[in-house]
C-alpha cells in the first residue's frame, strides 16, 4: 500500500515538474511521518526515501534514532524542546522567532550544522505561525549571524480557506524578492498532500507530504 501510494505521489511530482518546466531533481520530497509508526519510516527508507519530517520533538527523536536519514522538523517550536530538536534534526522549517533561532544555535552539538527555513505568514490570522513578509529580511540577517545555522530559504503553509494557487502565487512573489536579497538562501519549502502540485508550479524546492503516502491520520496534528 505504502509503495503504491509513494509511486503515485512520485508520478504526480514528476508531472507537476514537467508542467512547470522544471527538473524533477529540483524538488526534494520530505515524507512527513508524524503519527505513523517507525516501521512505516523503515518501509519508506527501504523504498529509497532519505528525507523525513516530524512535527513533535519526541517522535522525531525516537524515529531518527532508529532510521538514519535527513530529518526535518516542521512543527511549532516550543522553547523547552529546542535542545532536543537541535540534537536530532538536520533542518528546521518552522523558524519564526528570533529567540528560538538563538537558542537553536546555542544548543547545537559541537560541530553540527542546522539547516533553517524561515516560516512566512501568508495570512493575517495570528496563531498559525510565521513571520510577516516585511519582517523576513530582518529575520534572515539574524539567522546569518550564527555560523552553524545554514539559511536555506522560506517555508509556508497555505492558509485554510484560501485557494492554494492564490496563496502560493503570493508566496512566489515574496520568495522572488527574498531570493534577490539572499541569493544563497533561495530554497522554498511549500506544498502538502492536497496542494503540492500548485506549490511546485510556484517554485517549491521542498514538498512535505504525509497522508498521500501513509494514509489519513487518526489524530491529526
Ligand X SMILES: *Cc1c(COP(=O)(O)O)cnc(C)c1O
Residues near ligand X (CB under 6 A)? 32, 34, 55, 74, 157, 192-193, 208-212, 221
| Cβ 98 to ligand X shortest distance, Å | 20
C-alpha cell at 123: 495570512
Which lies closer to ligand X via its Cβ, residue 5 or residue 148? Answer: 5
Which lies closer to ligand X via its Cβ, residue 101 or residue 156? Answer: 156
> Quick one: which H or E segment has residue 92?
strand 91-95
Residue 128 per-residue DSSP state? S
Minimal CB distance to ligand X: which residue?
Answer: 210
| Cβ 147 to ligand X shortest distance, Å | 27
Which lies closer to ligand X via its Cβ, residue 32 or residue 167? Answer: 32
| Cβ 90 to ligand X shortest distance, Å | 16
Which lies closer to ligand X via its Cβ, residue 159 or residue 210? Answer: 210
| Cβ 112 to ligand X shortest distance, Å | 23
* H-state helical runs in 81-122: 82-88, 98-107
Cβ contact 117:155 at 8 Å: yes
Q: DSSP characters for 17-84?
A: HHHTT--GGG-EEEEE-TTS-HHHHHHHHHTT--EEEESSHHHHHHHHHHS-SEEEE-SPPPGGGHHH
Amino acid at each position: 500500500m505504502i509503495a503504491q501510494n509513494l509511486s503515485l505521489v512520485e508520478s504526480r511530482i514528476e508531472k507537476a515538474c514537467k508542467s512547470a518546466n522544471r527538473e524533477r531533481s529540483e524538488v526534494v520530497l520530505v515524507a512527513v511521518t508524524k503519527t505513523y509508526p517507525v516501521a512505516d519510516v523503515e518501509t519508506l527508507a527501504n523504498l529509497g526515501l532519505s528525507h523525513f519530517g516530524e512535527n513533535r520533538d519526541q517522535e522525531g527523536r525516537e524515529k531518527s534514532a532508529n532510521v538514519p536519514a535527513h530529518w526535518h522538523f516542521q512543527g511549532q517550536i516550543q522553547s523547552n524542546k529546542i535542545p532536543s530538536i537541535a540534537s536530532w534534526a538536520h533542518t528546521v522549517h518552522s523558524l519564526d522567532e528570533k529567540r528560538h533561532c538563538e537558542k537553536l544555535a546555542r544548543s547545537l552539538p559541537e560541530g553540527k550544522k542546522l539547516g533553517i527555513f524561515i516560516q512566512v505568514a501568508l495570512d493575517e490570522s495570528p496563531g498559525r505561525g510565521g513571520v510577516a513578509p516585511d519582517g523576513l529580511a530582518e529575520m534572515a540577517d539574524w539567522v546569518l549571524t550564527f555560523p552553524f545555522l545554514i539559511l536555506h530559504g522560506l517555508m509556508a503553509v497555505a492558509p485554510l480557506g484560501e485557494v492554494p494557487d492564490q496563496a502560493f502565487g503570493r508566496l512566489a512573489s515574496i520568495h522572488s524578492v527574498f531570493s534577490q536579497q539572499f541569493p544563497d538562501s533561495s530554497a522554498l519549502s511549500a506544498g502538502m498532500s492536497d496542494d503540492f502540485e500548485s506549490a511546485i508550479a510556484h517554485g517549491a524546492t521542498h514538498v512535505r507530504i504525509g497522508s498521500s503516502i501513509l494514509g489519513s491520520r487518526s489524530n491529526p496534528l
